[in-house]
Structure 1
Amino acid sequence: MKIDVLSLFPSMFEGVLNESILKKAKDKGAASYSVVNFRDYSSNKHKSVDDYPYGGGAGMVLTPQPIFDAVAELNKNNPEGNKPRVILLCPQGERYSQSKAEELAKEDHLIFLCGHYEGYDERVREHVVTDEISIGDYVLTGGELGAMVVIDSVVRLLPGVLGNEDSPVLDSFSSGLLEHPHYTRPANFRGLTVPDTLLSGNHAKIEEWRERESLRRTYERRPDLLESYPLSEKQQKWLDEWRNS
């Protein structure tokens, strides 16, 4: 996957893209990264990228020219008809989710647009951007941190990036439920013990325990996820037991 980032502060990405899983993905050839300062594409003699909004109002607005030209440059070597997804990070966007990460992980080329100031000229949204994403109902100084979150969540889903291919499948939200609790050695830590089922060696019972605890954790922490989750008869019975207890 080719990942390009348009940012006025490229140095913010240096540590993130060169550590941990993102670095491993690059080393394995699963992903490549390029961070471009779109100020370099400004045709203004002062290299400015923002201006006052028509009609007045507080703050400055990013002008269309540098962004249009930067995206065109990044797209020029793509085969005809193979357009990248251009992702705008903004509070007005679709709330980000694991299903969106899985969708984006199927793409060959992603371009992330990180803005600052009051906003973007609307023509950028209408004619350049394909996706608008918000990582939560709050406002950040710029789109860089949001882009880092999305890039991390997408790249870890690429084939061969994680050591265990089952890991992304079993993650919270991938199944529609939160992930079950985990335990490791020692079995007894200062009087705090691991559930007997996990020590039994009975794989069928272990899987059932994990399924039950995954459902319980979702019910207790994110009951909203159950509104659209297709419960099995067994899961519905468990849920009824907890609700009536």
Structure 2
Amino acid sequence: MKIDVLTLFPEMFEGVFGHSILKKAAEQKAAQYNVVNFRDYADNKHKTVDDYPYGGGAGMVLKPQPIFDAVEAVKSSSEAKPRVVLLCPQGERYNQKKAEELAAEEHLIFICGHYEGYDERIREHIVTDEISIGDFVLTGGELGAMVIIDSVVRLLPGVLGNQESHQKDSFSTGMLEHPHYTRPADFRGLKVPDVLVSGNHAHIEEWRVKQSLKRTYTRRPDLLEDLELSETHKKWLNEIKKEDK
């Protein structure tokens, strides 16, 4: 996957792309990163990328020309048709389903804005996706882009090593993930559930699904509204609801 990031602060991405899973993905050639300072594409001698909004108002607005030219430049080096992602508080709320959708693409371009906002022509003519990572406002789109890139790259084949690692993550199944335990089995009198050391894999899997259901019901019941549950899962959920009363 080719990933281009358009930003006014390219140095912010050095640490993110140079460590952990994102670094591993680049070393394995599963992902290729390219960070572009779109100020370099400004066509005026002062390299300004923003201006006052027409009609007045607070703040500055990013001009269309530098971003249009930067996107066109990175597109020209790609054989695949890229998805162009605008980081924006007005965008679609990001979730795991969107991460999985983006992970199927060959080329992603992220536009990280600053100041008051973007010239509307950027949204209308070069962007394919507007994404928000939550109902809050950041000073720029860089942190949001980092979050999305991390969540997408870890889904690429071979990046995590064990393909099941992300398939059972919270939200990938539609539910929150079950609790995890590791050695020692008894830590300061706090014991691991007996079923997990029983060696009975069928019972362990049943326990994990029940715990996922319980955790989702108690912490994020909204996720269950659109989830298609089997009759067995519905039975377990009813038992969990009764226990909760």
TM-score (norm 1): 0.98
Match of 1:238? 236
Stretches of structure 1 lacking an aligned partner (at least 5 in a row)? none
After superposition, the C-alpha distances for 1:25-72 in whole angstroms (9 at most, x for unaligned) are 000000010111000000011100000000000000000000000000
Paired residue type of 2:99: A
Match of 2:111? 113
After superposition, the C-alpha distances for 1:180-210 in whole angstroms (9 at most, x for unaligned) are 0001100000000000111110110000001
Report the Cα offset of residue 240 of structure 1: 1.4
Q: Paired residue for 2:93, among 92, 95, 98?
A: 95
Q: Within 5 A, what are the aligned runs for 1:79-90?
A: 79=79, 82-90=80-88
Stretches of structure 2 lacking an aligned partner (at least 5 in a row)? none
Q: For the residues of structure 1 that align with 2:169 and 2:239, how far apart are their CA atoms?
A: 26
Q: Within 5 A, what are the aligned runs for 1:94-173?
A: 94-173=92-171
Q: Within 5 A, what are the aligned runs for 1:1-245?
A: 1-79=1-79, 82-245=80-243
Paired residue type of 1:195: P
Report the Cα offset of residue 228 of structure 1: 0.5
Q: For the residues of structure 1 that align with 2:29 and 2:130, how far apart are their CA atoms?
A: 27
Greater mean alpha carbon deviation, residues 183-192 or residues 230-239: 230-239
Report the Cα offset of residue 239 of structure 1: 1.6
Q: For the residues of structure 2 that align with 1:150 and 1:58, how far apart are their CA atoms?
A: 29
Paired residue type of 2:57: G
Q: For the residues of structure 1 that align with 2:160 and 2:9, how far apart are their CA atoms?
A: 29
Report the Cα offset of residue 78 of structure 1: 2.5
The two structures, once aligned, show a CA RMSD in angstroms of 0.7
Paired residue type of 1:12: M
Paired residue type of 1:161: V
Report the Cα offset of residue 117 of structure 1: 0.3
Q: For the residues of structure 2 that align with 1:163 and 1:244, how far apart are their CA atoms?
A: 40
Greater mean alpha carbon deviation, residues 230-239 or residues 107-116: 230-239
Report the Cα offset of residue 242 of structure 1: 2.4
TM-score (norm 2): 0.98
Q: For the residues of structure 2 that align with 1:141 and 1:39, how far apart are their CA atoms?
A: 17
Report the Cα offset of residue 244 of structure 1: 2.3
SS at match of 1:184: coil
After superposition, the C-alpha distances for 1:103-141 in whole angstroms (9 at most, x for unaligned) are 000101000000000000000000011000000000000
Query: After TM superposition, which residue ranges in structure 1, 4 or more long, deviate above 6 angstroms?
Result: none
Q: For the residues of structure 2 that align with 1:68 and 1:83, how far apart are their CA atoms?
A: 16
Paired residue type of 1:14: E
Q: For the residues of structure 1 that align with 2:173 and 2:121, how far apart are their CA atoms?
A: 38
SS at match of 1:186: coil
SS at match of 1:26: helix
Report the Cα offset of residue 168 of structure 1: 0.9
Q: For the residues of structure 1 that align with 2:202 and 2:19, how far apart are their CA atoms?
A: 38
The number of equivalent residue pairs is: 243
